[in-house]
A and B are shown apart, each in its own frame.
Chain A
Amino acid sequence: MLGILKALKTTLQAAMRKPVTVQYPKEKKELPHRSRGLPVLLWDFDVDEPFCTGCQVCARACPVDCITVTMKDNPKKAAGKSKRKKIVEHFILDYARCMRCDICVEVCNFDAIVMNNTWEGVELATYDRQNLVLDADALLKQSRTGQLKDPFREPMGVAHSGWSPKVEEKEEAEETKVSEEGGEG
Chain B
Amino acid sequence: MATTDYTIPGEPDLETIDININVGPQHPATHGVFRMVLTVDGELVTDVDPVIGYMHRGNEKLPENCDYRQVIGYHDRTDYLAQFNTEHCFVEAVEKLTGITPTERSQYIRVILAELNRITSHLMFFGAFSTDVGIFGTAFMYAFRDREYVQDFFEEITGERLMYNYFRPGGLAWDVPDNFRERCTQIIGQINSGLKDLEGLLVDNEIVLTRCRGLSRVSIEDAINWGLSGPLLRATGLEYDLRKAEPYSIYDRFQFDIPTGENGDVYDRLLVRFEEMRQSVRIVEQALADMPDGPIMAEGMKRTLRVPEGEIYMRVEGPRGEYGVYIVATGTDKPYRHKVRGASFSNLSALRAMSVGNYLSDVIIILGSIDIVLCEVDR
Contacts and interface: CB of A to CB of B under 8 A. Distances in A.
A178 B236 CA distance: 72
A95 interface: no
B311 to A, nearest CB: 23
Contacts of A32: 152, 155-156, 159
15 contacts: A4-B205, A6-B204, A10-B197, A10-B200, A11-B138, A34-B177, A36-B158, A36-B159, A100-B163, A101-B70, A101-B72, A102-B173, A158-B170, A161-B303, A162-B303
B159 A158 contact: no
Nearest to A37: B159
B301 A63 contact: no
A159 B302 contact: yes
Contact of B305 (A102, A154, A160): A160
A63 B174 contact: no
B206 interface: yes
A106 B170 CA distance: 15
A35 B175 CA distance: 15
Interface string B166-184: 0011100111010000000
B73 A101 contact: yes
A17 B73 CA distance: 38
A103 B163 contact: no
A1 interface: yes
Contact of B206 (A4, A102, A160): A4
A9 B204 CA distance: 13
B43 interface: no
B72 to A, nearest CB: 8
Most chain-A Cβ atoms within 10 A of its Cβ — which of B155, B200, B299?
B200
A157 to B, nearest CB: 8
Given A10-B197, A34-B177, A162-B303, 9 more contacts: A6-B204, A14-B138, A34-B157, A102-B159, A156-B173, A156-B297, A158-B170, A160-B297, A160-B305
Contacts of A99: 73, 163
Interface of A: 1, 3-4, 6-7, 9-11, 14, 20, 32-36, 61, 63, 99-103, 106, 115, 117, 152, 154, 156-162
A106 B206 contact: no
B69 interface: yes
9 closest residue pairs by CB, A with B: A36-B159, A160-B301, A154-B174, A63-B70, A3-B206, A34-B159, A101-B73, A32-B156, A10-B200
Contacts of B201: 7, 10-11
A156 B74 CA distance: 22
B160 interface: yes
Contacts, number: 91
B340 to A, nearest CB: 16
B184 to A, nearest CB: 15
Contact of A103 (B69, B157, B159, B209): B69
A159 B301 contact: yes
Interface of B: 66-67, 69-70, 72-74, 138, 145, 148, 152, 155-160, 163, 165, 168-170, 173-175, 177, 197, 200-201, 204-206, 209, 297, 299, 301-303, 305
Contacts of A9: 200
A87 B222 CA distance: 65
A121 B10 CA distance: 72
B206 A1 contact: yes
Nearest to B204: A3
A106 B155 contact: no
Contacts of B204: 3, 6-7
Contacts of B158: 34, 36
Contact of A100 (B66, B156, B160, B174): B160
A20 B149 CA distance: 10
A152 B148 CA distance: 22
Most chain-B Cβ atoms within 10 A of its Cβ — which of A35, A152, A156, A158?
A158
Contacts of A11: 138, 201
Nearest to A60: B67
Contact of B159 (A14, A115, A160): A115
A3 B199 CA distance: 11
A3 B174 contact: no
B289 to A, nearest CB: 25
A11 B302 CA distance: 55
A36 B160 contact: yes
